[in-house]
A and B are shown apart, each in its own frame.
Chain A
Amino acid sequence: MSLFKVFDVAGSAMNAQSVRLNVTASNLANAGSVHGDADKVYRAKQPVFRSFDDALASQSGVSGVRLAGISESQAPLEVQYRPDHPDADENGNVYVSNVSTVEEMVNMMSASRSYQNSVDMINTTRDLLLQTLTLGR
């Protein structure tokens, strides 16, 4: 029965979106964190999605989502002159992480909506399958 594939597809999407939510949570938690070394300061992370098995998908049109990796934002860091900060470098500067709180909030909403879509898909398909089981009773 081909409807069962929907559970795999929606499951993979939920997995991907939950990773995105986790990454967003980590970004928001580290927003505004500072470090004296520009290489060590927290940079905003972003998951990269890919669709599963492109060769197969072009034939059947069905593909789930997988995580290709996590990319780090290369946006410029804000430099603050805070000589009294314990982490400040020899010039008295600290670097602030490049997390954009607004962007992350939008990301969070988008991820949670996509997650809900997947849950709805599973519920609908489950109903269809259960109704099919009672066919002819």
Chain B
Amino acid sequence: MKIPGFALHEQALKLRALRNEVLSSNIANADTPNYKARDIDFAAALRQASASQPALKATAPGHLQPAGTHATGADVRYRVPTQPSLDGNTVQSDVEQAAFAENAVQYRASLQFLGGTISRLRYAIKGGE
């Protein structure tokens, strides 16, 4: 049986976790010269992931995924800065902080949806008890 909502939010959680990592490395490198901020287009990545396109199968540790593509199929792109700094760093702390906070809230939202689905299933399994 395929339960709607499970697969989608599972993908969403994975991508949110990945985006959390990417944004955290932006914030961590806010003072690193020549560091270029990166991000994931979440909507596009989720569309790609839920279009049931499996990532390239890797059967040995040496097998590579296509360049710029994460194992989940998300494209990591460079951010276009509005105020690049002189040392070549394109991290704008305020933008990154806002994106990080938004991403954390969205992650929690996906968790809530999954939790709701699970508790509804339990309710059905126990016969409404």
Contact = CB atoms under 8 A, between A and B. Distances in A.
Contacts of B115: 135-136
Interface residues of A, number: 39
Contacts of B40: 61
Contacts of B85: none
B33 A60 contact: no
B25 A57 contact: yes
A61 B22 CA distance: 6
Chain B contact residues, majority secondary structure: helix
B70 A49 contact: no
Nearest to A57: B25
A62 B118 contact: no
A132 B104 CA distance: 12
A108 interface: no
A2 interface: yes
B24 A10 contact: yes
Given A2-B17, A61-B21, A117-B93, A131 B111 contact: yes
B108 A128 contact: yes
Interface string B104-124: 100110010011001100000
Which of B21, B30, B38, B69 has the most chain A CB atoms closer than 10 A to its own CB? Answer: B21
A127 B104 CA distance: 9
A136 to B, nearest CB: 4
Contacts of B119: 136
Contacts of B111: 128, 131-132, 135
Where chain A touches its partner, the secondary structure class is helix
A114 B91 CA distance: 12
A44 interface: no
Contacts of B39: 61
B17 A63 contact: no
A1 interface: yes
A3 interface: yes
A34 interface: no
Given A2-B17, A135-B118, A128 B25 contact: no
Given A60-B76, A117-B97, A132-B111, A125 B29 contact: no
Interface of A: 1-3, 5-6, 9-10, 12-13, 16-17, 20, 48-51, 57-65, 110-111, 114, 117-118, 121, 124-125, 127-128, 131-132, 135-136
